[in-house]
Amino acid sequence: MRVLLLDPHWALEDAQAAFDGQDVVVERAERAEGDDVVALLVSDSQTVRAADLVRLPSLRAVATCSTGYDNLDVAALAAAGVWASNVHGYCDEEVAEHAIAMTVDLLRGITVLDRETRGGSWGHAAAPPRRIAGSTLGIVGFGRIGRCVARRGLGLGMRVEAYDALVPASAIELAGVVPHGRLHDLLAGADVVTLHTPLTPSTRQLLDREALGVMRAGAYLVNTARAALVDHEALGEALRDGRLAGAALDVLPVEPPAADEPALGWPRTVVTPHSAWYSADSAVEPYHRAAADVAAALAGGEPVHALARPVGA
């Protein structure tokens, strides 16, 4: 059985090791095709859509070594009898820590003031530091990562509020967090808004021009989730006209960005290279999990991180 490894950053020998004892050969490839291909190992940079299945008649499993799975057409895969899985949870702590680090950076003006100081200025007028304790942190998306962020925000003495259309208010309250039934209510009262919701058709550009306009003047935005959750043109305008005090972004519409990427020139903006997920541990764990899920499916079992049960399984 052939398994195609489409992610160029995945070590081939590590992927092959997951199938020890199975009659499986892992091959590196740039295109998903082959009558005898039974599984695909991908990252969030490779898509698997319904149209691809025509070239993969024997496909039985697909695993992405990412938390987000908008690169996979899960419904089409399930309808075709194919297991699809992601690796949710492998970097919850890392992403939460990154989001909180960005929150602290923005409120205290650390990066902006560092730039100003290196440029010859001496003073804090460019980004007046604010008190973190007592500031309101608004969390959009109260899943695993959102809850990790909430715990850290509460530990810093912040007032933490959350919006999630799929999580009951009672569950949010149990975490010591103030729930909001409407996104705009959360946006209107937060000093910092941080995004932790998956990218779906309903959340694409969740923070559109109208939503960004609801955010209080002088507020900050943190995005370590998906760039497409935000209308970037509207965000740039809000930063340039000074209505928003700043933003911290770990994700951009095109990665890596071109030299003329607008976000790189926005004022009071911190940009990191999609690194919120990273630590020495999380750098290897997602690959092991994804390969193990494919191995389980090929052995007739059920992947631990299955996104949907395939027809006929």
List the catalytic residues: 226, 255, 274
Q: Encoding tokens for residue 218?
A: 């002088």
Cα–Cα separations (whole angstroms), residue 11 to 68, 101, 121: 21, 30, 47
Question: Which residue bears the tokens 């070590």?
Answer: 11
Spell out where the chain has E strands.
2-5, 25-28, 37-42, 61-64, 83-85, 136-140, 159-163, 178-180, 192-195, 220-223, 246-249, 269-271, 306-308
- 3-state SS, 148-199, equals HHHHHHHHCCCEEEEECCCCCHHHHHHCCCEEECCHHHHHHHCCEEEECCCC
> Roughly what angle, to the nearest 10 degrees, separates helices 110-118 and 92-108?
60
Cβ neighbours of residue 38 under 8 Å, at least 6 residues apart?
1, 2, 3, 24, 58, 59, 60, 61, 298
